[in-house]
Structure 1
Amino acid sequence: MRFLHLADLHIGKRVNGFSMIEDQKFVFEQVYNVIENEKIDGIIMAGDIYDKPVPSAEAVKLFDEMLTRLVSINLPIFVISGNHDSAERIGFGSDILSAAKVYMSRVYNGNLQKIELEDDYGKINVYLLPFIKPATVKNIYKEAEIKDYDDALEYVLSQEKIDKTKRNVIVSHQFVTGALRSESEEVSVGGLDNVSVENYEAFDYVALGHIHRAQQMGRESARYAGTLLKYSFSEEKHNKSMTIVDLKEKGNIEIKEIPVKPLHDLKTIKGKFSKITSEEFYKELKKEDYYRAVLTDEDDILNAIGKLKSIYPNLMSMEYDNTRTRSYSVVDNVETGETKSPLDYFEEFFEKQNGRKMSEKQRNYLLEILGEAREESHETN
């Protein structure tokens, strides 16, 4: 059986204020083409269907259009909720939808949903495990000692009698220890959300969601599909793709990735303002892509963003990388106020903020101001 493994669609997401809806529609067309051209037998969506627990109307509309189109192909569709989703909203109407072979994960209640499929090699069991938290598991299993996410996942899976003679697939949305993260993902302080890949040992294929970079975890058959689009500039070097999984006889799995082409790529342009606004620089670029501009000019450029947007209409952000921004504002605790004059402090502050010393003219002007301040203080006293 050939599955298309997708995850982290984040429908309705906005990146630096830009709506990704049109970009998502564009890549979804590629999903439909892959399903047809690659003769897919089943579709997996491993969580974070939406970007928010209460998605926008246009996000719900787009997912509705997607499901309607996929149902018309008459393939089983497996969908779980992720940490960005509302488990209740994803699970709404799950019993009704299952009649159309759309299997939406229900709110976890102590039982894993299991869907049985069959192909030329026999039975395949597909298990749906929505994103779970330790508190959720503790509320269901009062007797269990659950300290963290790893304990929760281990306990949940230990309650299931998995027939290891059959081919078993699990769809899960958790952070497996060792996965390479991106800035656009939610991160728990101290890695408290880590789970071990060994917890999934009973499953022939582990269809993971949550991490935005496509990657295998521990073994080739435990994989994050990654996002279809880049959702932060930390992802600009990622090669986005769709994952196809061929589940043949027990122990025989083949995996391949199909590249995804974005409507607008996410890129960084860097250099002096005069350089990145020159036609020679941008003539080979796709100016409609999403850009982050990093200016290396030492002095601020008046209305730089407005001028850059006249060339790069989808400019998402602008920042400076120069002597001033690279300097660190470190407080010197060694010398006390008794050994430093106010002028010393002002000069030190100026240098750390601007990456250069005061000019003689600036220093004399400051001395004049400090002198006037001292005179006014004496007069007051």
Structure 2
Amino acid sequence: MRILHTSDLHLGRSFHGRSLFEDQEAIHGELLRVCEERGVDVVLVAGDVYDQASPRTEVIDQFSRLLTGLARRGVRTVLTSGNHDSAARLGFAAGLLETAGVHLRTRLEDCARPVELSEDVLVYGIPYLDPRASAARLGVEPTHGEVLRAALDAAREDLAQRRADRPRVRAVVMAHCFAVGAEPSDSERILASGHLGAVPASLFEGFDYAALGHLHGRQRVAETVRYSGSPLRFSFSETRQTKGYWLVDLDAGGLRVEGGEWEHQLPLAQLRGSLAELLEAPEHAWAEGALCQVTLTDEERPAHPMERLRARFPRTLELAFSGLRAREEVSYARRMAAARTPGEACEAFYDRVRGRALDEAERRDTADAVAEAVRREAGEEAA
């Protein structure tokens, strides 16, 4: 049995206002191709299918096309709901979809009801369980760890009963959580403050493989406990992540896991340096077509930095400053009170708003504007 483990599709997401719809279409095309070329029997999507609880119509259609494409290729799909999904919406028509090989696990009641991929391979899908909504029903404290432990115990109990009759049964469990020892990114929604949402990897003992979702970097927490990560980069903190998936082979001989990479990668660049250096240095040419996050190290805030950066890096999305020289602070009110001319008042206002003094060209433009205002005011008074 060959399984492809992925998660966190976040369909409908944007990147700093840039739609990722076409990028997600490209990933879906790759997924279908990989399933054909590598002989995949089943795809696991470990939560966060959608980015929002109420996805747009075109996003739902996009997901429908993906499921249809997998079904037409004879590939079954097992999906669990994540913390971004509406479990009720995602789980709609679950019973009907099972007849087409699409298995949805979005309800607490389904945690101990495995998907039987074959006589000897089971998949237990644990949806994301909000502790406040699930703890009372499970009879545990309202924490992520206790709720997930109870759900996994129910699955383990069912597995033990099945193994009593069929000792060779293999079991995969899916969960959407933050496992201790894993590396987060900036693009994930926090489950609980103060690291209270983290759970130990030992919770997944007893299963042959744990296919986790929620964290967006592909990683191995333990040999049989892994995150596939998101197929696309969703923040600049993921710039150096290579996005991919896990191929899991389960048979009587044991477990084998192989990594694969998505060819389509969102091109991101994090640039740091003075404005002059970034605009002139040839070694930054590779970033001219990338989505850029720029940190300027100039001691003085340069004029029109974003406009000038975009002349070379037209897809610059974020701009920050590091290393601006501290200046002697004189209160804005005192500077305005001490201004002897309208021009000096304008300079004080500009410095306050932009965080730097006027350059020579701006000083000339300001002087011309003040002179014109004075002439107009004098003309109006004479009239």
Give TM-score, length-normalised by structure 2. Answer: 0.80
Equivalent-residue separation in structure 2 for 1:220 and 1:244 (angstroms) = 13
Instruction: Determine the structure 2 residue equivalent to 1:132.
Output: 129
Contact kept in structure 2, 1:207 and 1:224, CA below 8 Å:
yes
Residue by residue over 1:214-239, the C-alpha shift from the partner in whole angstroms, topping out at 9 and shown as x without a partner, is 1122x211111111111111111212
AA partner of residue 316 (structure 2):
L
Instruction: Determine the structure 1 residue equivalent to 2:357.
Output: none
AA partner of residue 232 (structure 1):
S
Q: 2:234 aligns with which of 211, 231, 235?
A: 231
AA partner of residue 141 (structure 2):
I
* 1:152 matched to 2:147: yes
Residue by residue over 1:242-278, the C-alpha shift from the partner in whole angstroms, topping out at 9 and shown as x without a partner, is 111111226x211111122335312101111122222
Instruction: Determine the structure 2 residue equivalent to 1:174.
Output: 177
Equivalent-residue separation in structure 2 for 1:8 and 1:33 (angstroms) = 19
* 1:214 matched to 2:211: no
**3-state SS of paired residue (1:183):** coil
Task: Quote the offset at 1:79 in angstroms.
Answer: 0.6
Equivalent-residue separation in structure 1 for 2:25 and 2:273 (angstroms) = 33
Equivalent-residue separation in structure 1 for 2:43 and 2:199 (angstroms) = 25
AA partner of residue 212 (structure 2):
L
Task: Quote the offset at 1:5 in angstroms.
Answer: 0.4
AA partner of residue 197 (structure 2):
D
Equivalent-residue separation in structure 2 for 1:69 and 1:301 (angstroms) = 52
Residue by residue over 1:101-158, the C-alpha shift from the partner in whole angstroms, topping out at 9 and shown as x without a partner, is 000123223653311122xxx51111111101222323423xx232411111122222
Instruction: Determine the structure 2 residue equivalent to 1:338.
Output: none
Aligned positions of 1:1-381 closer than 5 A: 1-109=1-109, 111-118=111-118, 123-141=120-138, 144-159=139-154, 160-163=157-160, 164=163, 165=167, 166-187=169-190, 188-217=192-221, 219-249=222-252, 252-278=254-280, 280-283=282-285, 285-322=286-323, 324=324, 354-357=325-328
Residue by residue over 1:276-328, the C-alpha shift from the partner in whole angstroms, topping out at 9 and shown as x without a partner, is 22272443x15222110111112222222123223323222111111x3xxxx
Equivalent-residue separation in structure 2 for 1:26 and 1:286 (angstroms) = 22
The alpha-carbon distance between structure 1 residues 312 and 113, as it changes in their structure 2 partners (threshold 3 A), is farther
AA partner of residue 8 (structure 1):
D
**3-state SS of paired residue (1:127):** strand
Give TM-score, length-normalised by structure 1. Answer: 0.80
**3-state SS of paired residue (1:223):** strand
The alpha-carbon distance between structure 1 residues 369 and 64, as it changes in their structure 2 partners (threshold 3 A), is same
AA partner of residue 82 (structure 2):
G
Name which of structure 1's ranges 40-49 and 17-26 shifts more when overlaid on structure 2.
17-26
Decide which structure has greater helix share. Answer: 2
Equivalent-residue separation in structure 1 for 2:43 and 2:30 (angstroms) = 14
Contact kept in structure 2, 1:81 and 1:87, CA below 8 Å:
yes
**3-state SS of paired residue (2:108):** coil
Task: Quote the offset at 1:366 in angstroms.
Answer: 6.4
Runs of 4+ in 1 over 6 A off after TM superposition: 365-368
Kindly report the root-mean-square deviation, in angstroms, between the aligned alpha carbons of the 2 structures.
2.4
- Structure 2: 5+ residue stretches without partners: 341-383
Equivalent-residue separation in structure 1 for 2:298 and 2:28 (angstroms) = 40
Percent identical: 28
AA partner of residue 270 (structure 1):
R
**3-state SS of paired residue (2:11):** coil
